[in-house]
Amino acid sequence: MTQYAFVCLLLAAMAWGQAPNPTPTPAAPPPSAPANDAANPGQSKEAEAAKVPPDAPVVTINGLCDNPPADKTADTNCKTVISRAEFEKLVDNVQPNMPPRVRRQFATRYAMALVMAEKAHEMGLDQGPKFEDRMKLMRIQVLSQSFNQAVQEKAGQISDKDIEDYYHNNSAAYEEVDLQRILVPRSQTLPASKVKLSAAAEQKRRKDAEEVMQKEADKLHARAVAGESFSKLQDEAYQLAGTKTKAPSTKMGEVRRNGLPPAHVSVMELKTGEVSAVISDPGGYYIYKVGAKEVEPLDKVKEEIRGTLRSQRIQEQMQAVQQSATPTLDDNYFGAEPVQHGMPLPPPTGSPSPKPASPGPK
């Protein structure tokens, strides 16, 4: 059945090979009492499967000959048998750690693929240039997936020293600061004019409304530096702006530097108790006050760093591969490359994941 298994492996690789490898999670602590099989059906199935001997048949296809006789008139009342060891080897090649419920679905599809592959062979569909071309494409796909898997496995080989070195070289990235923030809307919410205004008059009206809030931000900043309550100042800012929504909380909690917009990161350099200058951006005017500062311990961020290093190494390896050979496409044949609009760039995979700040208006 080697030829059938190979054909199905390629088909299965296309269907299952796209599934990302599950991210390892820390092992859960042992329960204080024996687990109930009804509450943990997955564990129960795995335990039962482990009792099946490696050479025991787990898939039997009646009517499909494992070794078809040369004489078509001979008795064809035969079957194909797949042992547990053979099936698990196939699964490991397609998707390691496949869940038990998915294995049953895969076994059914695999069996049907074997039957169809035999029928295709009888029809001579495995002959000719078209078949050979398709096999070449499948070989390329399997090899590219194997390369990707090898890169991921190698990138995951991270020592404790690698983690410690990264932590000490990037300790600022793991500093948490207890922040308070005042958000001053950029402009007042203006009621509809009772009379029709010219375009110039309407523009001046809006500009005046923006200047009111800009001056208010400076006044609130001075009062914040003097020690007034951030919550009180935040309420006053929203009242003057005429905003109907409730003023946001000024307490952001513990925030890392990459949990802030790039233009706001400078507040992380302030000392405890200091108030930032007014920071202006399209969302409004921002005033921060710095509270307690603390660098998270290595034990707390160890797995995060492991993931960061793994992502860095994968990205570096894939970039090196992409740069080693660059395809050039003929625009006369393919057409000019379309311009992408509004496509956000992904965050750099080499930087630590930001710790989300408390929700606030954008």
Q: Among residues 40, 38, 19, 14, which one has the least CA distance to residue 98?
A: 19
Predicted local confidence at residue 101, as pLDDT: 86
Predicted local confidence at residue 113, as pLDDT: 93
Predicted local confidence at residue 7, as pLDDT: 45
Paired strand residues for 158: none
Delimit the domains of the chain by residue range: 2-25+37-155, 156-191+198-324+348-362
Q: Rounded to whole angstroms, how far apart are CA atoms 36 and 255?
A: 41
Predicted local confidence at residue 202, as pLDDT: 87
- Do residues 307 and 284 touch, judged by C-beta distance below 8 A? no
Q: What is the DSSP secondary-structure string of 74-132?
A: S----EEEEEHHHHHHHHHHH-TT--HHHHHHHHHHHHHHHHHHHHHHHTTTT-SHHHH
Predicted local confidence at residue 10, as pLDDT: 44
Predicted local confidence at residue 161, as pLDDT: 97
The residues of the chain scoring below 70 in pLDDT are 1-43, 68-76, 340-362
Q: Rounded to whole angstroms, how far apart are CA atoms 21 and 97?
A: 9
- Do residues 352 and 256 touch, judged by C-beta distance below 8 A? yes
Predicted local confidence at residue 44, as pLDDT: 72
What are 286's two structure tokens?
């921002």
Residue 43 CB neighbour total at 10 angstroms: 13
Predicted local confidence at residue 73, as pLDDT: 55
Predicted local confidence at residue 9, as pLDDT: 44
Q: Rounded to whole angstroms, how far apart are CA atoms 276 and 64?
A: 76
pTM of structure: 0.66
- Do residues 1 and 66 touch, judged by C-beta distance below 8 A? yes
Predicted local confidence at residue 210, as pLDDT: 94
Predicted local confidence at residue 341, as pLDDT: 63
CB-based contacts of 340, cutoff 8 Å, min separation 6? none
Domain 156-191+198-324+348-362 has CATH 3.10.50.40: yes
Predicted local confidence at residue 100, as pLDDT: 86
